[in-house]
């Protein structure tokens, strides 16, 4: 539970003391993997990155390039995906077009996480770089990574974004093995989010009038 609670209170609750501790521990862990308990390394790095700056992004990026340990690299890649600054999110997405990381390991970590402040950034990246991505993604039968591309809309929760996602991918997903199913599931998730939002907003607004 500690792993989940620290991440919840620090990253989502934005507890300043825990964030400050995470920032210090993250720098220690980058230099010495024994500086942080193995079970807490991930949460510490994700919290630190979610409130991190360009300097920390560069340190984590460099560490991910250097490590030969697959588990450590996974933690570092998901740390890169935890930065909230839109400029840093764009830098993270751009790594997908380089040869720095094996896309079989880095694809999900680098592409799908979206900051709440800019949930469209992964979709816009795919929209603007689709041809280049398709040339780099593994496309083997049974593991066509292109089929997952519609998931860049998983964090959408309004009709306009839903329509943009559908309009862009619908003419294309037939060419991705499993793509139509992924698009349908993603659109269904957006529809459910829109419905929940519509159902809950009136009672939530009424409740907040007391505060």
Of 57, 83, 109, the one marking the end of a domain is: 83
| Per-residue confidence (pLDDT) for residue 175, from 0 to 100 | 94
In a domain, 96, yes or no: no
> Whole-structure pTM over 0.75, yes or no?
yes
| Per-residue confidence (pLDDT) for residue 55, from 0 to 100 | 97
For residue 31, the enclosing domain spans: 1-83
Asked if residues 150 and 183 have their Cβ atoms less than 8 Å apart, the reply is: yes
In a domain, 89, yes or no: no
| Per-residue confidence (pLDDT) for residue 98, from 0 to 100 | 96
Asked if residues 123 and 153 have their Cβ atoms less than 8 Å apart, the reply is: yes
Query: 149 and 205, same structural domain?
Result: yes
H or E segment at 54?
helix 54-66
Query: 69 and 14, same structural domain?
Result: yes
Query: 123 and 78, same structural domain?
Result: no
Domain count of the chain? 2
Kindly give the confidence (pLDDT) of every residue in the chain, 211 residues in length, as a single tens digit, with 9 standing for 90 and above: 777 777 677 667 778 888 888 899 999 999 999 999 888 899 899 999 999 999 999 999 999 999 999 999 999 999 999 999 999 999 999 999 999 999 999 999 999 998 888 899 999 999 999 999 999 999 886 689 999 999 999 999 999 999 999 999 999 999 999 999 999 999 999 999 999 999 998 888 888 888 7
Three-class SS state of 144: strand
In a domain, 199, yes or no: yes
In a domain, 100, yes or no: no
In a domain, 51, yes or no: yes
Query: 41 and 128, same structural domain?
Result: no
Query: 138 and 203, same structural domain?
Result: yes
Of 63, 83, 103, the one marking the end of a domain is: 83
From CA 98, how far away is CA 158, in angstroms rounded? 32
In a domain, 10, yes or no: yes
């Amino acid at each position: 539970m500690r792993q989940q609670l620290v991440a919840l209170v620090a990253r989502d609750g934005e507890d300043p003391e825990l964030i400050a501790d995470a920032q210090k521990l993250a720098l220690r862990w980058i230099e010495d993997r024994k500086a942080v308990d193995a079970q807490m390394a991930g949460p510490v790095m994700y919290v630190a990155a979610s409130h991190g700056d360009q300097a920390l992004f560069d340190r984590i990026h460099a560490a991910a390039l250097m490590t030969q340990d697959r588990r450590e690299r996974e933690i570092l890649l998901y740390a890169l995906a935890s930065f909230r600054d839109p400029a840093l999110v764009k830098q993270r997405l751009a790594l997908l077009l380089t040869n720095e990381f094996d896309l079989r390991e880095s694809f999900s970590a680098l592409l799908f996480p979206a900051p709440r402040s800019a949930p469209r950034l992964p979709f816009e990246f795919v929209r603007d770089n689709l041809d280049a991505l398709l040339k780099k993604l593994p496309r083997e039968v049974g593991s066509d990574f292109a089929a997952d591309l519609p998931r860049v809309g998983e964090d959408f929760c309004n009709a306009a974004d839903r329509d943009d996602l559908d309009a862009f991918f619908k003419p294309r997903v037939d060419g991705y093995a499993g793509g139509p199913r992924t698009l349908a599931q993603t659109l269904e998730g957006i529809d459910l989010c829109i419905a929940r939002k519509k159902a809950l907003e009136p009672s939530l607004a009424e409740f907040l009038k007391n505060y």
